[in-house]
């Protein structure tokens, strides 16, 4: 069955340089640098990536960072809490805009 998302495509990620090499090289260097141990641990970064993957709803990233988080020793509870953080920010981001709606309502109401 043909689908837009194929798990096998994740393995081809590294080959995006085939169409534009210099930018891909810069991107992957940067990517590697970002995920190194730093002021945040590699483990903390993996959980952030997992949460962001859910926010941007990227199935490749969800698979990749689920495995990565487990490899880095995170447990199910921590991973689910990370997703809740993403959900809370997404939900909150919608809801906080309701203040604009409320402002407008008040502006045009008697």
Q: State the Cα torsion 24-28-33-36 to the nearest 10°.
A: 170
Long-range CB contacts for residues 75-81, cutoff 8 Å, separation at least 24: 78/47, 79/47, 79/50
* Neighbour tally for 69: CB within 10 Å: 22
Q: Which stretch binds another protein (CB under 8 A): 38-46, 49-57, 85-93, 100-108?
A: 38-46
Nearer to another protein, 7 or 91 (CB): 7
- The distance of closest approach from Cβ of residue 94 to another protein in the complex, given in angstroms and rounded to an integer, is 34
Q: Which stretch binds another protein (CB under 8 A): 37-45, 54-62, 81-89, 93-101?
A: 37-45
- The distance of closest approach from Cβ of residue 74 to another protein in the complex, given in angstroms and rounded to an integer, is 9
Q: Which residues, 46 to 85, sit near another protein by CB under 8 A?
A: 67, 70-73, 75-76
* Neighbour tally for 104: CB within 10 Å: 10
- The distance of closest approach from Cβ of residue 16 to another protein in the complex, given in angstroms and rounded to an integer, is 18
């Amino acid at each position: 069955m043909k689908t837009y998302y194929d798990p096998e495509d994740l393995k081809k990620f590294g080959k995006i340089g085939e169409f534009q090499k210099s930018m891909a090289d810069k991107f992957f260097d940067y990517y590697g640098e970002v995920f190194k141990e730093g002021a945040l641990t590699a483990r903390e970064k993996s959980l952030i990536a997992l949460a962001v993957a859910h926010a941007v709803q990227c199935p490749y990233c969800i698979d990749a960072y689920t495995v990565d988080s487990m490899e880095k020793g995170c447990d199910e509870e921590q991973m689910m809490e990370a997703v809740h953080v993403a959900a809370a920010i997404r939900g909150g981001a919608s809801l906080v805009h309701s203040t604009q709606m409320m402002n407008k309502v008040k502006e045009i109401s008697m």
